Amino acid sequence: MNKFSKYMTNFFTNYLKQEKGCSNNTILAYRDTFKLFLRFLKNKKINVKNFDIKDFTKDLVIEFLNDVESKSSIATRNIRKAAINSFCNYILYEEPISLENINSILSISPKKATHKLVEYLSDSDMKLLLEQPDINKQKEKNDLILLSVLYDTGTRISEFINIKLKDVSLQKPYSIKVLGKGNKCREIPILEKTANLLKKYIDENNIIQSEQYLFCNSRGEKYSRKGISHKIDKYSNRAKIKSQTFPDKVHPHMFRHTKAVSMLNSGIDILIISNFLGHSSIETTMVYAKVTDENKRKILEKAYFDTESKELPDWIKNNDIMEFLESLQ
């Protein structure tokens, strides 16, 4: 085994997990980067088995990053570069003799990308979307609860699909625990109406084991990102028939964006929203403040959906939920 292969193996099996304590999502993202890099080498007719540290050069990495950007975006290019940087920082301590070469790779600057506008649904569009499942059909009723909890919790899709029964607290204060970025656990408050819906859902679907995933597909497995996207597409297509202004494409992360914007429009403090969303820096949350600058007239609009009455209950008037939010650290 050459040194590149050796270091790559140790990087994933020991360094990331044991020394750095990286989350599984981070490790998988890094894995995808190097899968792409090895395919890139193969397309260049470079024998991967013989590829060594001395062949891992700045020019080659730049060529790889340019290839990534041409097929995706600057943001994706920068994500791939971050994974390479982590690998390079590991090599520095294992292979000091390669210091000059590795530092040259680390010197590659990330590209500045123009920030996309935050994509979110208006309250009326989200309400319309949640009206599409037929609650007289058990499967679609389950879908309605799934989509409602996805919106209500404002979770990342990677957090949402991993929620288990043990993570749900249906005693006051009602909440759901999720494991977020950096293996950080946070507790997300839910209103009593959502808790009652979940109680019925759990009973009707015979979810009794603490390690059972809260939402499962027809095979009894936790949903994939693609599976959640498929459900959203299904009901979005119905909504588009009823509204000419409904967005052409709704992706899972738009639920999180919509929740954040709606909370801001309700007058909830941005620091609380930052904790609620699990952001490591308030700067990340500030992007929503820019969105709401043009929506000041909506400051008293309600920010929560009741999936039975289709009304929009107001978080700001609910003392229990506000106390819970304020207690988040």
**HSE toward the beta carbon, residue 223, CA cutoff 13 A:** 24
Least confident of 11-15, 34-38, 223-227, 292-296: 292-296
**Looking at the 3D structure of the chain, how many domains does it have?**
2
Report the candidate in 161, 162, 169, 159 with the shortest Cα–Cα distance to residue 192.
169
Task: Look up the domain containing 101 and give its range.
Answer: 3-106
Residues 17 and 138 in one domain: no
Q: Looking at the domain assignment, is residue 58 inside a domain?
A: yes
- Report the CATH number at residue 165: 1.10.443.10
Contact 145, 280 (CB under 8 A): no
Residues 39-89: tens digit of each pLDDT: 999 999 999 889 999 999 999 999 999 999 999 889 899 999 999 999 999
Residues 279 and 133 in one domain: yes
Residue 303 predicted with pLDDT over 70: no
Q: Looking at the domain assignment, is residue 99 inside a domain?
A: yes
Q: Looking at the domain assignment, is residue 297 inside a domain?
A: yes
> Which DSSP string do the residues of 210-241 spell out, in sequence order?
TTSBSSB-TTSPBPPHHHHHHHHHHHHHHHHH
- Domain endpoint, select from 58, 74, 106: 106
Instruction: Find the helix packing angle between 138-153 and 123-130, rounded to 10°.
Output: 150
Give the whole-angstrom CA distance, residue 313 versus residue 52: 60
Q: Looking at the domain assignment, is residue 187 inside a domain?
A: yes
Q: Looking at the domain assignment, is residue 112 inside a domain?
A: no
Q: Looking at the domain assignment, is residue 163 inside a domain?
A: yes
> What pLDDT is attached to residue 138?
94
- Higher pLDDT: 55 or 294? It is 55
- Sorting pLDDT into bands at 50, 70 and 90, what band is 300? very low
Give the whole-angstrom CA distance, residue 309 versus residue 306: 6
Residues 44 and 136 in one domain: no
> What pLDDT is attached to residue 266?
85
- Report the CATH number at residue 16: 1.10.150
Tell me the mean pLDDT in the region 146-155.
95
Residues 77 and 49 in one domain: yes
pTM summary value: 0.66
- Domain endpoint, select from 53, 80, 106: 106
- Sorting pLDDT into bands at 50, 70 and 90, what band is 311? very low
Cα 10 off chain centre by: 27
Tell me the mean pLDDT in the region 258-279.
90
Residues 148 and 280 in one domain: yes
Residue 301 predicted with pLDDT over 50: no
- Sorting pLDDT into bands at 50, 70 and 90, what band is 310? very low
Q: Looking at the domain assignment, is residue 82 inside a domain?
A: yes
Tokens standing for residue 211: 């390690």
Residues 58 and 145 in one domain: no
Residues 152 and 301 in one domain: yes
Residues 105-134: tens digit of each pLDDT: 999 999 887 666 789 999 999 999 999 999
Residues 152 and 47 in one domain: no
Average of per-residue pLDDT values in the chain: 87
- Sorting pLDDT into bands at 50, 70 and 90, what band is 320? low
Residues 84 and 127 in one domain: no
- Domain endpoint, select from 76, 106, 136: 106
Residues 94 and 138 in one domain: no
Q: Looking at the domain assignment, is residue 179 inside a domain?
A: yes
Residues 164 and 304 in one domain: yes
Residues 295 and 171 in one domain: yes
